[in-house]
Amino acid sequence: MNGRCVITVGDLGEFGIVARIAGRLPQSGAVLLGPGDDAAVVGAPDGRVVVTTDMLLEGRHFRRDWSSPYDIGRKAAAQNLSDVIAMGADPTAIVVGLGLPSDVGTGWLDDLTDGFRDECDLVGAGVAGGDTTRCDLVVISVTALGDLGGRAPVTRSGARPGDVVAVAGRLGHAAAGLALLESGHEGLPGPDGRRRDDPRRDDPRRDGRAEPYGSDERREDGVAGLVGAHRRPRPPYPCGPQAAALGATAMLDVSDGLLQDLGHVARASGVGIALDPGAFTVTPEMERVARLLAADPLDWVLTGGEDHALAATFPAEVRLPPAWTVVGRVTGGEGVQVSGRTVGQGGWDHFRM
């Protein structure tokens, strides 16, 4: 231990970190053998396993002064679990690779771990294992696994002319929240380093488990909810396997913006997609923030990428549950059209300078 008041991950050492993380993770869900061995063992009753991986870098995908460690953990897990449900599978487990600066406090690591755990709890998945190493910046690599439960995986290539295009989950909220943060108008941390609107700020139940999905609606009302949407996406988890069971012909999670992501579906399926801009929901809060920032809220809806909504195509005769909103249809031809005009590929490309 060094002379500072805060115990850091550098004080713990690699094995101490692993033990500390493992101590906060109950064996759960499909995890048959958890952290502590060369590898974990996870149930795969279908006989196939869905697997996806994403790497998040400090400064590029999150900022430690804009998001709490708990939110960062929730978000890192969410964006991978979202990729699993977008195949029509039920998430079973994640494993996490962590690069951490030596001066990161153990409380920060605990909160991050709780974020992974609580997001996984929402879908009955477990944190099966991981790896830590010292790094000058925080690097988080999450790999998520899922089980198809006998269903065929829903890929990007099955859309057919005549199908409807539908979305589930929020669109444009995270983009509006990020725009607010970038403008300096809202949600910057207070002098204690905690966010002014952090619901866990004064919560003595540091080990409290996740609230059921959706029960935090109330405190996400209003403009602060848009910033919250950037910090902590809420993918529509039940809708992925549901869509597969309903016969979705193509599906993906909206991670780079709806236009760009539907462009992937159009290309992979060899079809065109026509969207009706009037079908999208723009909330009064998004309108307010858009006026404040002189922005067009529909831009956020069509090109914002971090809400992890689902977009899917369905045969026209499928009766869709209320969580799904029809926003367009699959056509012959190619590309994505909005109000009859073909649009470019607005969206994120992390490699462009």
Write out the binding residues for its own copies, residues 306-325 only, by CB under 8 A: none
Least distance in angstroms from the C-beta of 287 to its own copies: 31
Residue 15 binds to its own copies (criterion: CB under 8 A):
yes
Instruction: Determine how β-strand 272-275 pairs with β-strand 335-338.
Output: parallel
**Closest distance of CB 142 from its own copies, Å:** 9
| Distance from chain centroid for Cα 138 | 18
Q: Which two tokens stand for residue 148?
A: 């198809």
The tokens for 261 are 């992501």
Which range touches its own copies (CB under 8 A), out of 45-53, 111-119, 224-232, 315-323? Answer: 45-53
Residue placing its CB nearer to its own copies in the complex, 154 or 274: 154
Which residue lies nearer to its own copies by CB, 218 or 352?
352
Calculated CA dihedral for residues 218, 224, 229, 230, nearest 10 degrees? -160
- Separation of CA 153 from chain center: 20
38 makes contact with its own copies (CB under 8 A): yes
Window contacting its own copies (CB under 8 A); options: 122-130, 167-175, 217-225, 292-300: 122-130
Contact 20, 134 (CB under 8 A): no
Asked if 67 is part of the footprint of its own copies (rule: CB under 8 A), the reply reads no
- CA dist 122 and 209 (Å) reads 10
List 4, 6, 26, 102, residue binding its own copies (CB under 8 A): 102
Nearer Cβ to its own copies (131/296): 131
What residues from 229 to 258 belong to the interface with its own copies (CB under 8 A)? Answer: 251-253
Q: What's the Cα-to-Cα distance from 294 to each of 139, 179, 227, 286, 288, rounded to whole Å? A: 34, 11, 17, 11, 10
Please, which residue, 96 or 229, has the CB nearer to its own copies?
A: 96
Across-strand partners of 129?
95
